[in-house]
Structure 1
Amino acid sequence: MAWLSDAHTWTALLEIIGVNIVLSGDNAVVIALACRALPPRQQRLAIFFGSAGAIVLRAVLTVFATLLLAKPYLKLIGGVLLLWIAVKLLLPEDDGDGETEDKAGMFAAIKTIVIADLVMSLDNVLGVAAVAEGNVILLVLGLLISMPLIIYGSTLIMRLMGRFPVLITLGAALLGYVAAGMAVSDPAVAPWIEANIPMLRRLAPVSGAVLVVLAGKYFVRRKKRAVVEIAVEEREPKP
């Protein structure tokens, strides 16, 4: 227990907490987007369990951070997956009734939170791993202390999204920005881009944000059109 009286340990712990909070802004947006349509009780459960699962996976990922991030195509695949998640989060939830639908929506939200956090943490974990300097206990402790702050931040963002729906679009655009930036930094494509199209490193994140918003609007319009067509068919008298 000598580490408890070590000033360096406490400094590193505070740095881990700070780095994790700063790097988790986009994660809080994911949590808010994924849980916004759930009933209040389901929201609290989804936020808690989704955040807990994401924290555990982030701790494991951080231990293997350097090895994983050196693998080609990992960030490229993760970027594409995160783009799809961002578009999917823009779509309105289907109306459901009963406890079964609520539970299904809650588990879907938890799954989305964990997967998106895992993908986005590919970039974030290096900063935390550098501060932890291989001390797994310190790393996990810092992540656990950060968890309530992340939960509070996501809850606040979710409430703001309820009052200002435009924040939903901006949140999804942020995820698209992060996803495209991650994809072009993959070791498999980054050297070629730097040698041939260096401007793409700056253009790709903005393009990703725009792509998510346009794709989201397209799928929303298509979904509404399908609902209208079904309603019209139901009203028409059958021969």
Structure 2
Amino acid sequence: MEWLTAPTLWIALLQIIVIDILLGGDNAVVIALACRRLPVEQRRKAILGGVAGAIVLRIVLLFFAINLLDLPYLKLIGAVLLLWIGVKLLLPEDEGANDKIDGGTRLITAIKTIIVADAVMSLDNVIAVAGAAGGNLYLVSLGVMVSIPIIVWGSQLVLKLMDRFPVVITFGGALLGWIAGSMAVSDNAVQPWLVNSPEWLHYVASAAGALVVVVIGLGLRKRRVTAR
């Protein structure tokens, strides 16, 4: 049970929860839209059923993602995707992106909509969480089970926090960049070139990834805001 007291484990768990919350805002919106046509007494059942299915499916996807990341060059690809996701996180919201989501008037239809939409929208979460977990599926499962209920029932609070303190979003983008840099230097295809490299190279690569996301993301956001 010594692993429970390892600081690195708790840091990784915190990263997973933060990533899921930051990237899960749209998922919370989907849940609300999927349930809006249901009778009031069925909405809670739809949310519980949809969230339960989403948690199971997310863990299955993460299981495959974690194992695939052991293949050469896939961590490099994942790192590039994470940089893009981090930059995207810092850009202004695309208003009306979820307007076409409709869960219908039946309970089972709403549950299916929540599960399918979560799976489609969770590619960024899966990549980021797989990188933060370092191959620990138990850690991933715990992080997902903690963060998804927070997204569902605390989404309004989280969104208000992000609106009031934009630095939270910037921090999230930097975190994704940090994980991207760490993933890149840990790829099996890169490791032979880094056999004699200093230990601090890992942190330099992580910091560089965070800096790239923040600089590009804030620059593009400023340009978009100015163009409006």
CA shift, 1:84, in A, is 0.3
Q: Specify every segment of 5 or more residues in structure 2 that has no aligned partner in the other structure, as ranges.
A: 1-8, 37-46, 102-113
- Residue from 118, 125, 141 that aligns with 2:126: 118
Q: How does 1:171-186 map to 2 (within 5 A)?
A: 171-186=172-187
Output the amino acid matched with 2:137: V
Contact 1:54 1:117 in 2 (8 A): no
Give the match's secondary structure for 1:195. Answer: coil
Q: Does 1:41 align with 2:49?
A: no
CA shift, 1:144, in A, is 8.0
> How has the CA–CA distance of structure 1 residues 125 and 176 changed in structure 2, closer, same or farther, with 3 Å as cutoff?
closer
> How has the CA–CA distance of structure 1 residues 72 and 103 changed in structure 2, closer, same or farther, with 3 Å as cutoff?
same
Q: Indicate the RMSD between aligned Cα atoms, in angstroms.
A: 4.3
Contact 2:16 2:143 in 1 (8 A): no
> How has the CA–CA distance of structure 1 residues 188 and 157 changed in structure 2, closer, same or farther, with 3 Å as cutoff?
farther
Contact 1:91 1:219 in 2 (8 A): yes
Distance in 2 (CA, whole Å) between partners of 1:177 and 1:81 is 13
Distance in 2 (CA, whole Å) between partners of 1:144 and 1:218 is 32
Summarize deviations over 1:114-156 as a string: whole Å, max 9, x none.
Answer: 1112212434273225x8xxxxxxx98x788546545358735
CA shift, 1:90, in A, is 0.9
CA shift, 1:206, in A, is 1.2
Output the amino acid matched with 1:28: I
Query: Which residue number in structure 2 is paired with residue 102 of structure 1?
Result: 99
Query: Which residue number in structure 1 is paired with residue 217 of structure 2?
Result: 216
Greater helix proportion:
1
CA shift, 1:225, in A, is 3.5
Distance in 2 (CA, whole Å) between partners of 1:44 and 1:207 is 42
Contact 2:54 2:119 in 1 (8 A): no
Summarize deviations over 1:146-183 as a string: whole Å, max 9, x none.
Answer: 46545358735333212212211111111111122112
Query: Which residue number in structure 2 is paired with residue 127 of structure 1?
Result: 136
Output the amino acid matched with 1:188: A
Q: Which runs of 4+ in 1 moved over 6 A?
A: 47-51
Q: Does 1:69 align with 2:66?
A: no
Identity rate, percent: 34
Distance in 2 (CA, whole Å) between partners of 1:50 and 1:215 is 34
TM-score (norm 1): 0.61
Query: Which residue number in structure 1 is paired with residue 109 of structure 2?
Result: none
CA shift, 1:185, in A, is 1.0
Output the amino acid matched with 1:126: G
> How has the CA–CA distance of structure 1 residues 23 and 161 changed in structure 2, closer, same or farther, with 3 Å as cutoff?
closer
Query: Which residue number in structure 2 is paired with residue 10 of structure 1?
Result: none
Contact 1:28 1:153 in 2 (8 A): no
CA shift, 1:85, in A, is 0.8
Segment drifting more, 153-162 vs 199-208? 153-162
Query: Which residue number in structure 1 is paired with residue 162 of structure 2?
Result: 161
Distance in 2 (CA, whole Å) between partners of 1:218 and 1:87 is 10
Counting matched residue pairs gives 193
